[in-house]
């Protein structure tokens, strides 16, 4: 427990061996200084490793921004700059050990953010994408590892030598490579991008440079996926994720199932 009066973390323990094994019961208390502030939540965790009990106490960072109403969409991701937080009304913040600061606002509400690295490239870089369904666009930003990430507000924005911006999708229709209300996306271990193209009820696959590779799923014949009817933007639901082995998981909300596809 944490003692607010003495400003210390206190761990009490006891060992009660099974009868008949000749072991002696033991107990003890471990105390260590730990500054405690009233009103700040703390987390105490215990683990057993190599026959020893380890205890740790952590004080999470608390960050709040007043809002008049809740947001239907919000997304948060950790990058080399800190934690990036965006809401549907285009507010965005970078939260770092130095505090919080406004980030570049997006052109449209953001449904999802992803950040990842691809180690097999000649130099390690951090890839970041933001998904803006209402303008049928996914925007990619690339920055060198060890530099501060800059986040794009549009495909027309120039952010300097260490960062370049490209957009994903060839237009708002149903042809290969075109996007209609892209709602979610993820990157595979080989760098390929899997986009949940909700308006076209399909998954599309792209290279990192935005080149179209392949797709599966359609609306015809009942469709392999059902991400909503699209009568209003709020009718679309779904998500896609890729694990470390390249397996693709699709949250097929309309069909009430999660589908898994091999790499």
Residue 137 or residue 164, greater confidence? 137
Residue 184 or residue 73, greater confidence? 184
Mean pLDDT of 66-81: 69
Quick one: which of 16, 126, 25, 128 has its CA closest to 75?
A: 128
pLDDT (tens digit per residue) in 104-156: 666 677 788 887 776 665 555 566 677 878 888 887 766 554 444 444 444 33
Mean pLDDT of 215-235: 77
Quick one: which of 219, 237, 239, 220 has its CA closest to 228?
A: 237
Instruction: Check residue 35 and give its pLDDT.
Output: 78
Instruction: Check residue 214 and give its pLDDT.
Output: 93
Q: CATH fold of 74-261, please?
A: Thrombin, subunit H (2.40.10)
Buried (b) or exposed (e) across 58-73, using 16+ Cβ within 10 A?
Answer: eeeeeeeeeeeeeeeb
Of the ranges 56-70, 198-212, 244-258, the best mean pLDDT one: 244-258
Distance CA 97, CA 159 (A): 23
DSSP the chain: -EETTTTEEEEEEEE-PPTTS-PPPEEEEEEEE----TT---EEEEEEETTEEEEEEE---------SS--S-EEEEEETTEEEEEETTS-EEEEETTEEEE-PPPSS--SEEEEEE-TTSSS-EEEEEEEEGGGTEEEEEEEETTS-----SSTT----TTEEEEEE-S-SSSSTT--SSEEEEEE-TTS-EEEEEGGGTEEEEE-TT--EEEEE--SGGG-S------SSGGG---EEEE-TT--EEEEEGGGTEEEEE--
Distance CA 103, CA 86 (A): 9
pLDDT band at 221 (very low <50, low <70, confident <90, very high): low
Instruction: Check residue 148 and give its pLDDT.
Output: 45
Instruction: Check residue 171 and give its pLDDT.
Output: 57
CATH 2.40.10.500 residue ranges of the chain are 74-261
Does position 258 have pLDDT exceeding 90, yes or no?
yes
Quick one: which of 11, 2, 81 has its CA closest to 39?
A: 2
pLDDT (tens digit per residue) in 12-21: 888 888 888 8
């Amino acid at each position: 427990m944490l003692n607010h009066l003495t400003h210390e973390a206190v761990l009490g323990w006891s060992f009660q061996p099974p009868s008949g094994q000749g072991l002696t019961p033991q107990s003890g208390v471990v105390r260590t200084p730990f500054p405690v502030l009233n009103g700040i939540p703390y987390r105490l965790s215990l683990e057993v490793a190599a026959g020893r009990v380890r205890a740790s106490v952590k004080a999470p960072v608390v960050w709040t921004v007043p809002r008049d109403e809740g947001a239907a969409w919000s997304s948060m991701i950790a990058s080399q700059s800190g934690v990036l937080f965006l809401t549907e009304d285009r507010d965005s913040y970078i939260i770092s050990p130095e505090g919080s600061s406004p980030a570049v606002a997006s052109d449209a509400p953001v449904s999802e953010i992803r950040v990842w690295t691809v180690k097999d490239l000649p130099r390690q870089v951090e890839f970041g994408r933001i998904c803006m369904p209402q303008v049928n666009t996914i925007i990619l930003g690339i920055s060198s590892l060890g530099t501060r990430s800059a986040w794009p507000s549009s495909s027309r924005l120039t952010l300097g030598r260490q960062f370049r911006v490209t957009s994903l999708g060839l237009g708002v229709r149903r042809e290969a490579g075109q996007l209609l209300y892209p709602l979610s996306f993820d990157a595979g271990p080989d760098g390929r991008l899997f986009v949940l193209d909700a308006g076209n009820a399909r998954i599309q696959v792209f290279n990192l440079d935005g080149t179209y590779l392949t797709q599966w799923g359609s609306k015809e014949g009942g469709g392999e996926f059902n991400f909503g009817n699209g009568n209003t933007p709020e009718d679309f639901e779904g998500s896609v994720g890729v694990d470390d082995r390249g397996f693709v998981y699709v949250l097929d909300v309309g069909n009430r199932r999660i589908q898994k596809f091999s790499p």
